[in-house]
């Protein structure tokens, strides 16, 4: 027969689960509005309506818009700090490894709809120094980890590239730029072409220059004849 203590613990767990479920619905509603309307369109009333809760319930769980924005920042940055799914098997040849990394990074992170919502939130928080500092701290914490792991998974670049970390920075900047461009309608053909070029760039950065390879020369300037 359940004791009073066990019934109390069970009731508390159930209440915690309900609270967590409600907060998750609120966060999902806010992210949908961020993606569709931007931060200015993500007002508390619409967020509550999308989560099927009252405005009072939303304020009960998050207290204020500031508190909700802080939680949203943590939510949208969590996938950007968890890069465990993007790294290819080390045993793959360089060409396959580069293609696998670019495809995984795009489809799991930078090309996902939530990435556009993340940037909408980042830009919208520019006017709030406290929130923007929170975002900046997350970026400063995550970027070095990403760059180090990139260099670790592409050791060929260390031997061939004068500054491997800058190469890593360029790769991630390209992926970020493509992700932000998704706020517009971009064709699959254009995206696929850019991903292929990014893979090619990684392969070239990790391929040693052959001795005696001809270097590109600037075209000779044509001399102008004096007018007769």
Of 2-6, 43-47, 85-89, minimum mean pLDDT range: 2-6
Which range among 29-43, 46-60, 80-94, 103-117 has the greatest average pLDDT? 46-60
Question: Which is it for the CA torsion 180, 30, 77, 191, positive or negative?
Answer: negative
What pLDDT sits at residue 228? 41
Place of tokens 């995984």: 104
Nearest CA to 79 out of 48, 106, 60 is that of 106
The chain-wide mean pLDDT, for the chain, equals: 83
The fraction of the chain above a pLDDT of 70, given in percent, is 84
pLDDT at 155: 96
Q: Which residues of 205-223 are buried (b: 16+ CB within 10 A; e: fewer)?
A: bbeeeeeeeeeeeeeeeee
Kindly state the tokens that stand for 5: 């203590």
Name the nearest CA neighbour of 41 among 121, 146, 106, 151: 121
Residues 6+ apart with CB under 8 A from 103: 195
Residue 84: HSE in the Cβ half-sphere, 13 Å Cα cutoff: 2
The CATH architecture of the domain made up of 13-63 is: Orthogonal Bundle (1.10)
Q: Of 62-71, 74-83, 172-181, which gets the smallest average pLDDT?
A: 74-83
**Range with lowest mean pLDDT among 58-72, 154-168, 181-195:** 58-72
Closest CA to 150 of 129, 133, 172, 125: 172
């Amino acid at each position: 027969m359940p004791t009073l203590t066990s019934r109390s613990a069970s009731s508390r767990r159930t209440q915690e689960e309900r609270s967590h479920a409600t907060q998750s619905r609120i966060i999902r509603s806010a992210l949908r509005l961020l993606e569709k309307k931007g931060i200015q369109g993500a007002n508390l009333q619409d967020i509550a309506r999308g989560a099927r809760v009252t405005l009072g319930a939303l304020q009960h769980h998050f207290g204020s818009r500031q508190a909700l924005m802080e939680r949203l920042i943590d939510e949208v940055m969590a996938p950007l700090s968890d890069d465990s799914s993007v790294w290819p098997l080390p045993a793959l040849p360089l060409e396959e490894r580069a293609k696998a990394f670019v495809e995984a990074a795009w489809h799991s992170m930078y090309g996902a709809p939530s990435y556009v919502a993340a940037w909408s939130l980042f830009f919208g928080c520019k006017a709030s120094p406290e929130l923007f500092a929170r975002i900046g701290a997350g970026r400063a914490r995550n970027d070095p980890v990403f760059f180090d792991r990139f260099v670790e998974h592409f050791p060929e670049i260390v031997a061939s590239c004068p500054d491997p970390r800058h190469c890593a920075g360029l790769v991630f900047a390209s992926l970020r730029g493509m992700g932000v461009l998704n706020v517009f309608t971009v064709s699959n053909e254009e995206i696929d072409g850019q991903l292929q070029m990014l893979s090619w760039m990684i392969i070239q950065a990790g391929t040693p220059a052959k001795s005696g390879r001809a270097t590109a020369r600037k075209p000779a300037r044509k001399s102008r004849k004096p007018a007769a």
